[in-house]
């Protein structure tokens, strides 16, 4: 059956093309590596640590599910579910909390960064990595693809699993290995910085056509006159254009920049068209899915059913091990 692969994504906002090329595309492609043994879940319990408005949280979870399915997630190959639908994740979190030292959590960068920025932490934010450990260990996951920022959380998961197994002298948990793709390029935003919802420089993944056009047309450029040759490698429009284009298209575009008589307005128009062409099949699929909300709920229900099966077995073993049965 191959190794069990699992990853989670927080429903933290409207997805942008940085999220798509930086994370989502790879998590969808996992289904081809190991169809039938891949788990992907929406980490709604983790999102509660920042106390979102209930309607916002609900909306984001639904949108995330819709957007992933539109982008090609195949629920036959990947079990796709909501974290909060899995019985036992919170119970396992509690049990793991009782063997996790404060020091281990106090060293977590992501916690320290938030506190340094002035965020007043709640206990949930502090024990965020323990919930994440429960997410991973409950399915006996072997491989966990995550971004670089989650590397330390994975190390904490491994520490917790090793400690538990040693403490009870039993190989209850599988020690997971992270898959960290160092090579993922940082996608630039409309201002040339890293695209991020915090910088107001995003191009939405499924934005409304008019709004996307407006966003692209307003990308700031230098004042090189239209007639002058331009260096494509210094242009943010070109950097974004590359995401959507074949080698040949990229070369042709670079030649146009260098030849002159090709203005930034033309480049923006080409970028807009490339964006629309690239996402056309996904947008079409999304329109279809929007007409059938029951289907999405059914996908998440089925995914949870599969995940719950695996979770129940582990939790039973854990309960026996610690003396709750």
Question: Which residues are tagged catalytic?
Answer: 114, 194, 197
The reply on whether position 44 binds ligand TRP by CB under 6 A is no
The reply on whether position 40 binds ligand TRP by CB under 6 A is no
The reply on whether position 142 binds ligand TRP by CB under 6 A is no
Tokens of 241: 């254009």
Compare residues 7 and 78 and give the one whose CB is closer to ligand TRP. 7
79: enclosing H helix or E strand: strand 78-82
Residue 18 binding target from ligand ADP, ligand TRP, none, CB below 5 to 8 Å by type: ligand ADP
Name which of residues 183 to 212 contact ligand TRP (CB under 6 A).
none
Least gap, CB of 204 to ligand ADP (angstroms): 11
The reply on whether position 12 binds ligand ADP by CB under 6 A is yes
Q: Select the residue interacting with ligand ADP from 4, 6, 11, 22 (CB under 6 A).
A: 22
Q: Which residues contact 8 (CB under 8 A, 6 or more apart)?
A: 40, 41, 42, 43, 46, 83, 132, 135
Closest by CA position to 72, among listed 50, 112, 94, 40:
40
Q: Which residues contact 290 (CB under 8 A, 6 or more apart)?
A: 66
Q: Select the residue interacting with ligand TRP from 4, 7, 127, 236 (CB under 6 A).
A: 7
Greatest CA span in the chain, whole angstroms? 79
Query: Is residue 92 within 8 Å of residue 318, measured between CB atoms?
Result: yes
Q: Which residues contact 58 (CB under 8 A, 6 or more apart)?
A: none
The reply on whether position 196 binds ligand ADP by CB under 6 A is yes
Q: Select the residue interacting with ligand TRP from 17, 64, 144, 203 (CB under 6 A).
A: 144
What is the distance between the alpha carbons of residues 319 and 325, in angstroms, rounded to a whole number?
6
The three-state secondary structure class of 107 is: coil
The reply on whether position 33 binds ligand ADP by CB under 6 A is no
The reply on whether position 8 binds ligand ADP by CB under 6 A is no
Least gap, CB of 128 to ligand TRP (angstroms): 7
Residues lying near ligand ADP in the complex (CB under 6 A): 12, 18-19, 22-23, 147, 184, 186-187, 194-198
């Amino acid at each position: 059956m191959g190794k069990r692969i699992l990853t989670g994504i927080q429903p933290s906002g409207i997805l942008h093309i940085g999220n798509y090329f930086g994370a989502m595309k790879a998590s969808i492609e996992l289904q081809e590596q190991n169809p039938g043994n891949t788990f992907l879940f929406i980490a709604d319990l983790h999102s509660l640590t920042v106390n979102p408005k209930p309607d916002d949280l609900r909306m984001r979870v639904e949108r995330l599910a819709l957007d992933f399915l539109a982008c090609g997630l195949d629920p036959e190959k990947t079990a796709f579910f909501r974290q909060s639908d899995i019985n036992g994740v919170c119970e396992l979190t509690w049990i793991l909390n009782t063997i996790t030292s404060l020091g281990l959590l106090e060293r977590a960068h992501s916690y320290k960064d938030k506190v340094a920025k002035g965020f007043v932490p709640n206990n949930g934010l502090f024990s965020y990595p323990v919930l994440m450990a429960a997410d991973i260990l409950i399915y006996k996951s072997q491989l966990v693809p995550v971004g670089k920022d989650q590397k330390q959380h994975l190390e904490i998961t491994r520490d917790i699993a090793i400690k538990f197994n040693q403490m009870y002298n039993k190989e209850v948990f599988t020690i997971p290995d992270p898959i960290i793709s160092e090579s993922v390029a940082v996608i630039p935003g409309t201002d040339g910085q890293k695209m991020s919802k915090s910088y107001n420089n995003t191009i939405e993944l499924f934005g409304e056509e008019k709004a996307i056009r407006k966003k692209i047309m307003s990308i700031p450029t230098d004042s090189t006159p239209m007639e002058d040759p331009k260096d494509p490698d210094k242009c943010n429009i070109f950097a974004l254009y590359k995401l959507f284009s074949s080698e040949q298209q990229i070369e042709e575009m670079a030649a146009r920049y260098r030849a002159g008589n090709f203005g930034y307005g033309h480049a923006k128009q080409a970028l807009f068209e490339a964006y629309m062409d690239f996402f056309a099949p996904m947008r079409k699929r999304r329109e279809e899915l929007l007409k059938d909300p029951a289907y999405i709920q059914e996908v998440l229900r089925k995914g949870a059913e599969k995940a719950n099966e695996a979770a129940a077995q582990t939790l039973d073993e854990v309960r026996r091990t610690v003396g709750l049965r």
